[in-house]
Amino acid sequence: MRLDLFNTTAFRLSAGYTLLVMLAVSVTLGSAYLLTESLITDEVDLIIATELQSLEEKFARSGLPGVSDEINLRIDSWGRIGAVYMIADANFERIAGNVTHWPFDGMPSERWPEFEIATIEPGRRAVHPVRAAVRTLPGGDLLLVGTDISQGRRFADKFRFATLWGIGLSTLAAALAGFWFSYKLARRVGEVTRTCQRIMDGESGHRLPLAGANDEFDALAASVNRVLDRLEEQAGTLRATFDSTAHDLRAPLQRLRTRMDALLLRSPPLEPAVHESVESALREVDRLQRTLATLLQIALAESGAPLGASASVDLAELTAELVELFEPVAAELGLALACRTQPAAHVQGNRQLLAQLLTNLIENCLKYVPAGGRIEVTVECLADAVHLEVSDNGPGIAASDRARALQPFVRFGSGGQPEGSGLGLSLVAAITRLHRGRLELASNEPGLRVLIDLPNGS
């Protein structure tokens, strides 16, 4: 199983974190920008208001000539930088000031109207934005006081530029950090996943690597490794138990066989009737041995012991070989055994066990399907599995009995069916499970369909 970086919790978390950083930085820098901008404007407005007030007072004291002189004085001498003054009559004709003509269409409606003044500066033409206020003097003349706000504008522009870059860069930094973080995290979790997969695939000696950082991942890896050690130990104990059980059951059978073989080989030969009895007893020993072997194999497979020797097996080829092997026997029983396979249906598994599985399924059909019947074995490649199907038109298994038919040992001793039934299918189920496959019994209407999906592997 491959880890998709974009589909990890770490990635989703860091994407959320990046978004949060972006929002926080935007709010902070954005409000600082808005605040600064309004502070600059407020300051300009205050100056304009103060000047207006003092000029209005001057008008009250010394009339229009006084205000005009005052304005000229302020323009010529110590006036503040960027100050703009104008006195105009009721028809907006200039009376005094440093603006050549009335900048608005009539009387501006806003409280703080803005306009632009084109000036000739050394070498270039420049346009200066001006913020202003207008008062109507007693007598109908108009007084305009303004301030060149190009410096403030430039500052605001720079501030905005810096704000946008700030938001962009910190988002980028957060995204990079998040990506790196989720990459690191996904890689370490991926290592754990891959190692577990390898162990499940049979490399039971494999352990999770420790980064040596003594962090929570190392702690996790160490815990997992302890669990794996325990499992391997248990598998070893299990294996030893199986080995000694197998040995203890087979050794007496061997002694029995050897003695009977010796009887058959001795000279002078046994009487024909006795010879026949010994031979029939030997056949029973063989049957016992086969049952024992099957039981041991089921038990071993059911115990969850990992699949030992595992390789890529072409199930299509194996099926064709076994069908060919069984075909003459089927023909003798009056059964048609056919096989339909797709080439190169590779599964990861043990060839002997898979052959045993197919053998049991085919032999099951041979045992139950009456003469004239038909058995079909098919192998198909699906997207992520190889599908094996063995179907016949024999008596089948009643729907209510199907689950029971797969369980080991349950059919033991139940009458009415040919001997050994149930055990064969139990072994099939065990081998399927061992290969991490899925087994299903269905009706072939009439007959039995055994459907097996094995995960594919090349």
Partner 1 sequence: MHVLLIEDDTEAAPFLVKGLRESGYSVDHAADGRDGLFRATEGAFDLIVTDRMLPHIDGLAIIELLRAKGIGTPVLVLSALGGVDDRVRGLKAGGDDYLTKPFAFAELLARIEALLRRRAGAPHTTRLKVEDLEFDLLARRVTRGGREVELTARELKLLEFLMRRAGQVVTRTMLLEGVWDLHFDPQSNLIDVHISRLRQAIDRGTDHPLIHTVRGSGYVLRSDA
Which CB sits closer to partner 1, 164 or 300?
300
Least Å distance, CB 306 to partner 1, is: 10
Instruction: Determine phi and psi for 98, rounding to 5 degrees.
Output: -100, 20
Which CB sits closer to partner 1, 114 or 279?
279
Which CB sits closer to partner 1, 45 or 317?
317
Longest Cα–Cα distance in the chain: 161
Residue 195 vs residues 1, 205, 210, 213: alpha-carbon distances, Å: 11, 10, 12, 19
Which CB sits closer to partner 1, 172 or 288?
288
The DSSP symbol for 456 reads B
Residue 328 vs residues 270, 315, 337, 364: alpha-carbon distances, Å: 36, 21, 9, 16
Q: State the Cα–Cα distance between residues 119 and 75, nearest whole angstrom.
A: 15
Least Å distance, CB 321 to partner 1, is: 7
Least Å distance, CB 422 to partner 1, is: 14
* Closest CA relative to residue 450, chosen from 330, 369, 329: 369
Contact 152, 69 (CB under 8 A): no
Least Å distance, CB 362 to partner 1, is: 9
Which CB sits closer to partner 1, 153 or 239?
239
User: What are the residues whose beta carbons fall under 8 Å from the beta carbon of 139, sequence distance 6 or more?
Assistant: 64
What pairs with residue 312 in β-bridges? 348
Which CB sits closer to partner 1, 189 or 320?
320
Which CB sits closer to partner 1, 348 or 350?
350
User: Which residues lie near partner 1 (CB under 8 A)?
Assistant: 242-243, 246-247, 249-251, 253-259, 261-262, 264-265, 279, 282, 285, 289-290, 293, 296-297, 300, 308-309, 321, 324-326, 328-329, 332, 350-353, 355-356, 359, 363, 366, 420
Q: State the Cα–Cα distance between residues 391 and 374, nearest whole angstrom.
A: 8
Strands (E), 256-335: 311-314
User: What are the residues whose beta carbons fall under 8 Å from the beta carbon of 277, sequence distance 6 or more?
Assistant: none
227: amino acid identity, one letter: V
Which CB sits closer to partner 1, 170 or 350?
350
Least Å distance, CB 303 to partner 1, is: 12
Contact 391, 450 (CB under 8 A): yes
Least Å distance, CB 308 to partner 1, is: 4
Which CB sits closer to partner 1, 258 or 277?
258
Contact 188, 43 (CB under 8 A): no
With H, G, I as helix, E, B as strand and everything else as coil, classify residue 131.
strand
Q: Which two tokens stand for residue 78?
A: 């110590």
Least Å distance, CB 243 to partner 1, is: 6
Sign of CA dihedral 425, 431, 433, 438: negative
**Burial (Cβ within 10 Å: 0-12, 13-18, ≥19) of residue 124:** exposed
Least Å distance, CB 429 to partner 1, is: 17
Least Å distance, CB 399 to partner 1, is: 27
